Structure 1
Amino acid sequence: MKLTLRFFAVALPLLLAACVPQTVRMKGDAGLLNAQVAREQALAHVDHWMLQGRLGISNGKDGGSGSFSWTQKGEQYEFVLRGPAISGMDFRLSGGPDGALLEGLKGGPLRGPDAEALMRKALGWEVPLGDLRAWVLGLRADSGPADLSFGENRLPSLLQQDGWTVDYRAWDSTRQPPLPTKVYAGKPPYTVKLAIESWQFQ
């Protein structure tokens, strides 16, 4: 069964659509890059966490939004999307190294070898879920070279990797190390926008 993003046919909420991007960016000097390496080392083994917030998606033509939760327990994950964009239905993506399961489809659950392949088959999405696991923490993924620019807060502002541009719009600097609270990832025509309302670590 082939689905498209048409079931997400509602406008993105103002929370995700009206934010003004950071305009001051600078290439990393030795101090900034060393601080980023320290952040990455501090978070390298943090693999049990849960975040909640708002999600906006678009394929350049169709788009929508909803609330979401993402639970990571080592290599096992569960991603749940809720909201009026999907007529009150919950979509649940779960899995790990042995495969992925997508529930909430009208035709019943769908299984696949991995989350990215399953989302591509079921929804027509191109979402780098493996890399996003690192990006959502403000880290460079281990999938290849990455270019970083930093904002006035001396935290990553723009990350370019695997053909995607990750724009960090806001950070929670009360945490040590700081964590992103607004993450926009784009690779034309796809965009994924996360507004993170809470982080929990185990």
Structure 2
Amino acid sequence: MKRSFRLIAAALPLLLAACVPAVRMKGDTGLLNAQQGREQALAHTDHWVLEGRLGVSDGKQSGTGSFSWTQDGEHYVFVMRGPTLSGANFRLSGGPDGAVLEGLKGGSLQGPDAEALMHKALGWDVPLRDLRAWVLGLRADSGPAELSFGTDRLPAQLQQDGWTVDYPEWDEGRQPPLPKKVFAANPPYKVRLSIDSWSFQ
């Protein structure tokens, strides 16, 4: 157990280390129009597979692991592998009718709300509904959002629903560009994704 903890402690800074602060600027009309164009182009993008690394922290404990996220319309499957805060692999799946969390000690859990289920089982406060939009570099429909942009004219930071979402790296080879790293924080909680691959259906 101590060895596992040391491995987590050694690996976590690689994912959660602070990046060099980006030059940020408030959105002018041109930048906001470009972002609106990105959002319109990706508005109906709801069939994809995302793979990468995930780091989570609740201010006291932290952990990392690899993950895959399959979005099929309103239904999703999120698979986590590695020494996360739970200490186990797990699979979260669901849709409008509820969610199922599998792979944890004690058997499967079911509930009407995935976010509440994750908090109950793992102690994680993860904004799953908003994250579905944020991971695409979009504003969620949960309320007002404030954007600032980098010198690449892409979003550098998004503030929404009490969370601050930083975008330190983009894949500009795609049209429209997609985030390669998504760091969301609402102290004491942090969720950081490093994206290895996107696959659209």
Contact kept in structure 1, 2:90 and 2:104, CA below 8 Å: yes
Q: Secondary structure at the match of 2:45?
A: coil
Secondary structure at the counterpart of residue 13 of structure 1: helix
Say how many residue pairs are matched: 195
State the Cα distance separating 1:19 from its structure 2 match.
Answer: 4.8
Identity of counterpart residues, as a percentage? 72
Deviation at 1:23, TM superposition (A): 2.6
Q: Shift in Å at residue 86 of structure 1?
A: 6.9
Unmatched runs of 5 consecutive residues or more in structure 1: 1-7
Partner AA of 1:78 in structure 2:
V
TM-score by length of 2: 0.92
- Listed one character per residue, the Cα deviations across residues 86-107 of structure 1 (whole Å, up to 9, x for unaligned) are 7984210000000000011100
Corresponding residue for residue 59 of structure 1? 58
Three-state SS of the structure 1 residue aligned to 2:182 is strand
Change (3 A) 1:145 1:88: closer
Q: Show the counterpart of 1:3.
A: none
Q: Equivalents in 1 of 2:186, 2:85: separation in Å?
A: 23
**SS of residue paired to 1:197:** strand
CA distance in 2, matches of 1:145, 1:86: 31
Separation in 2, partners of 1:28, 1:85? 36
Q: Distance in 1 between matches of 2:167 and 2:22?
A: 11
Query: What does residue range 1-202 of structure 1 map to in structure 2 within 5 Å?
Result: 10-11=8-9, 12-85=11-84, 89-202=88-201
Deviations 1:33-63 (A, max 9, x none): 0000000000000100010000000000000
The residue type equivalent to 1:170 in the other structure is: E
Q: Match for residue 5 of structure 1?
A: none
8 A contact 1:22–1:151 mirrored in 2? no
One-letter amino acid of the structure 2 residue matched with residue 77 of structure 1: Y
Q: Any conservation in 2 of the 1:82–1:88 contact (CA below 8 Å)?
A: no
Deviation at 1:125, TM superposition (A): 1.4
> Stretches of 4+ moved more than 6 A in 1?
none
Letter in 1 for 2:106: G
* Whole-angstrom CA distance in 2 between matches of 1:97 and 1:76: 7
Moved more, 20-29 or 146-155: 20-29
Alignment-mate amino acid for residue 32 of structure 2: L
3-state SS of paired residue (2:34): helix
- After TM superposition, the score normalised by the length of structure 1 is 0.92
- Whether contact under 8 Å (1:78, 1:94) holds in the other structure is yes
Partner SS, residue 164 of structure 2: strand
- Cα RMSD (Å) of the superposition? 1.7
Q: Which amino acid aligns with 1:95?
A: G
Residues 38, 176 of structure 2: 8 Å contact kept: yes
2:179, 2:171 → 1: CA distance? 6
Q: 2:175 and 2:129 mapped to 1: Cα distance?
A: 24
Distance 1:88 1:192, change over 3 A: closer
Whole-angstrom distance in 1 between the partners of 2:123 and 2:85: 16
